[in-house]
Amino acid sequence: MDNNLISYEQLYINGNWTSSHGNRKIEVINPATEEVIGFVPEATIEDVEYAIQAAKIALPSWSAISASLRSTYIKRLVEEMKSQQDLMALTITKELGMPLHFSHDIQVVGPIEGLETYIDIPQQLEEEKNNGNSIIYNEAIGVCSLICPWNYPLHQLIGKIAPALAAGCTMVVKPACETPLNAFLLAKMIDKIGLPAGVFNLITGPGPTVGEAMCKHPDVDLVSFTGSTRAGIQIAKAAANTVKRVCQELGGKSPLIITEEADIEAAVTFGVQDVMLNSGQTCTALTRMLVPVSCYEEVLLHAKNAVKEITLGDPLDTQNFMGPMSSQKQKEIVLGYIKKGIEEGATLLTGGTDNPLAKGFYVSPTIFSDVNNSMVIAQEEIFGPVLCIIPYETLDEAINIANDSPFGLSAAVWGESQQQALTIAKKIKAGQVYVNGADFNYQAPFGGVKQSGNGREWGIAGAMEYIELKSIQL
């Protein structure tokens, strides 16, 4: 066996590294080199059953331990993750392709910061509330199936594991097949902090088999899923027969409205960088840039200049802004949409379908101008480095275009002032809106409306997804 391979031979179930009932393996490919960099086991339905039973058995004692002990475990995990930041960042860069400096800051430091915000949440959840002749309690919902995508793999894992731990739930976790290695690293850390057996169980495998079994199982009380709207619908159907709670964090086609009075250069540069980050594989990417007709030419000039600064190449080189797409499949999907945009009559301002590098699943940063919001490239989630620039005449029209989408995950407004942008932000149908380049906040509720989902993650709102409210009348 190649010593450079990062391979895991066993699943993590019931507090032990456990051999799968099957003997199939999942190949992990570095999208920058196209080489196999490791293997993980592919779980079977029997493994899913074993993991769910382990979580079920662990539930009564875990949900009954004190809030302060749950906090202590979360604190220990924070410390453990802090000590392994570089290894986690390198692992994610190798399996996903995001440049290492971004992997470190966004894919690792960010989730650690998010996990840290959960240290105090168990105590908050323990507080009883009185209302009239009732006492209201927060009870752990139970056994959770947590299913994650590949684009911000550790961030998604922590966004589910942290509130589940805080609420006193037990869990079976499934990372995406493309990026499982960081989840195995995390499982090693969870093992090291001595979390009671069965609270956290790690399973791998394809969505339609292993994932579906996790959603259908009658002993599972909640499914939290982050991924495509397509899979989210299948998951909700699979979970429906046993009436479990399903929290869905799905796709997006988010707008950025730039007003006439805004600092156009700053706003356009921000918008271009936002879309190209992680090669456009960000669920909240601001892929529709809505700009006033009056400054259209200026916008196009700044967009071209901004894209010239997007360096593309080896994700281990800290000079690079963009690495490859996560997989050959993702690259082909994105190239298909670029061809579609050309066919639909949008103007290719920059980028296109040519291979920018001989090796690796690279796609050039691509910008379409003269896009009409009814075009396929403006309505469907491309999940690649493709920005659509859409002109508007009035702010009311801009708001209508922003809301004319099956999605409602995120949005942004860049205005002359915070006040102007805030007025517009309130009219956009999205779970979160960013004003004048504001930062992500790990304590604010994160989630979508419409076909972007129904769940909320992070902060106390994220924890409440894992809670059943119980009232006792006296």
Site residues, ligand NAD (CB under 6 A): 147-152, 174, 176-177, 206-208, 211-212, 215, 226-228, 231, 234-235, 249-252, 283, 381, 383, 409, 448, 453
Which is nearer to ligand NAD, 90 or 235 (by Cβ)? 235
Closer Cβ to ligand NAD, 180 or 391, answer by number = 180
CA nearest to 286, candidates 299, 268, 306: 268
How many CB atoms lie under 10 A from the CB of residue 355? 13
Candidates 148, 169, 215, 283; catalytic one: 283
CA 141 – CA 125 distance, rounded (Å): 12
DSSP 188-212: HHHHHTTPPTTSEEE----IIIIIH
Residue 52 three-state SS = helix
Q: How far is the CB of 446 from ligand NAD (least distance, A)?
A: 7
Close Cβ partners of 422 (under 8 Å, ≥ 6 residues apart): 413, 435
Encoding tokens for residue 333? Answer: 């999907």
Instruction: Name the residue nearer to ligand NAD (CB basis): 283 or 390.
Output: 283
Q: What residue type is assigned to position 354 of the chain? A: D
Q: Taking the complex as a whole, how short is the minimal distance between the CB of residue 202 and ligand NAD, in angstroms? A: 12
* Pick 271 or 280: Cβ nearer ligand NAD: 280
Angle at 108 between CA 107 and CA 114, to 5 degrees: 95
Residue nearest to ligand NAD as judged by C-beta position:
207
C-beta of 228 vs 379, nearer to ligand NAD? 228
Complex with ligand NAD: residue 31 or 313, whichever CB lies closer: 31
| β-strand pairing of 347-350 with 366-369 | antiparallel
From residue 231, alpha-carbon distances to 236, 244, 380, 405, 446 in Å are 9, 17, 15, 19, 20
DSSP annotation of 278 reads G
215 catalytic, yes or no?
no
Q: Is 322 exposed, middle or buried (0-12, 13-18, 19+ CB in 10 A)?
A: buried
Considering the complex, state which of residue 250 and residue 389 has its C-beta at the smaller distance from ligand NAD. 250
Cβ neighbours for 237, distance < 8 A, ≥ 6 positions apart: none
Cβ neighbourhood burial of 156 (10 Å; 0-12, 13-18, 19+) = buried
Question: To the nearest whole angstrom, how small is the minimum distance from the Cβ of residue 326 to ligand NAD?
Answer: 8
State the nearest-atom distance from the C-beta of 282 to ligand NAD, in Å: 7
Segments in 364-454 forming alpha helices (H): 376-379, 395-403, 418-425
The active-site residue out of 42, 249, 381, 457 is 249
Please name the residues in contact with 380: beta carbons below 8 A apart, sequence gap of 6 or more. 253, 337
Residue 248's closest CA among 280, 226, 270? Answer: 226
Closest CA to 390 of 219, 226, 263, 271: 271
- Complex with ligand NAD: residue 283 or 413, whichever CB lies closer: 283
27 is catalytic: no
* In the complex, minimum distance from the CB of residue 205 to ligand NAD, in angstroms, rounded to a whole number: 8
Q: Could you tell me whether strands 25-30 and 35-41 are parallel, antiparallel, or unpaired per DSSP bridges?
A: antiparallel
Which residues participate in catalysis according to the annotation? 249, 283
